[in-house]
Amino acid sequence: MSITIGTRGSKLALAQTETVMKKLAALGIPSEKQIISTQGDTTTGVPLHAIGGQGVFVRALDDAILAGEIDCAVHSMKDIPAFRPHGLFTAAVLKRDSPADYIAHTIPLGKVKVIGTSSTRRTAQLLRHDPDLMVKDLRGNVDTRLRKLNEGEYDAIILAEAGLTRLGIRIPGDRFPPEKFVPSPNQGTIAVVSRSDPSLMEMLSALDHPQTRNDVLIERAVMEQLGGGCYTPLGIYCRAGHLIAEVLSLDGARTERIEVDVKTIEEAREKGRLLKGKAQDLIDEACRQLGISKEEYP
């Protein structure tokens, strides 16, 4: 049985899909890829929160799986929304690459004043670090972002370190420690989503990395309790059961944060509910400022 794998057409998405296909081939499982365009790929002139948040990179692939057009899809797991359509299953979570953000810069870091990112989380964390920074919106694939950096539109841009590694890109810059600049939940992780077919899920499960799955499920449990999608500046990071989670105001001036060891998913949900109780005003405020109604987030 050859597995048809859906993927976005970006260089990063294709590189991630090639990684999955090579791992399957090593197990004697043939596969082929099918490129599917998503709203996140075709609508690039506005911030992510204005076109529906993180799910814009996933919905078309979800639909193709449910329609039987493909067997599974490869995603950056951080792009997968908290709440998923019935009939889909995360069949494999690959071993995590670096979860950290990376600041690429063309001038000495101490002289950086204008930074590009489309992430409300990264913006808030940067402004918390230095309120005098000018953070400008930046969308597009990695090549587009690097081109704009090299053309001088920005002094620096923020990228996921894992994406650069997967693309084999080495550029001047610095790694942000994830304990301080807490990453998006599941950042650095590749997931394979399939329909609920036992034989298909059994084949794909051979790619699963149990420790990574446990850590990212803890992160997702906290994310589900916090709600707000990618509208709210929030970072969630778990490593070997050690959880750090924070919610920030859009300007980075205020933060609610927890750091604790957790052993179970239910314990993670409890910590998420605790953090949400402390940070509800920040979540509501961010959504109001971004023009997001309460009906549009959990």
Is 190 within 8 Å of 19 (Cβ atoms)?
yes
251 is catalytic: no
Which residue matches tokens 């939940």? 185
Structure tokens at 40: 């996140």
**Residue of 62, 71, 79, 101 marked catalytic:** 79
How crowded is residue 72: how many other Cβ atoms within 10 Å of its Cβ? 29
> What values do phi and psi take at 138, rounded to 5?
-145, 115
The Cα–Cα gap between 187 and 235 comes to 10
- Quote the CA–CA distance of 241 and 226 in Å, as a whole number: 19
Surface-to-core class of residue 77, CB atoms within 10 Å of its CB (0-12 exposed, 13-18 middle, 19+ buried): buried
Coil/strand/helix, residue 104: strand
> In angstroms, rounded to a whole number, what is the distance separating the alpha carbons of residues 96 and 98?
7
- Alpha-carbon distance of 65 to 72, in angstroms, equals 6
Question: Which active-site residues does the annotation give?
Answer: 79
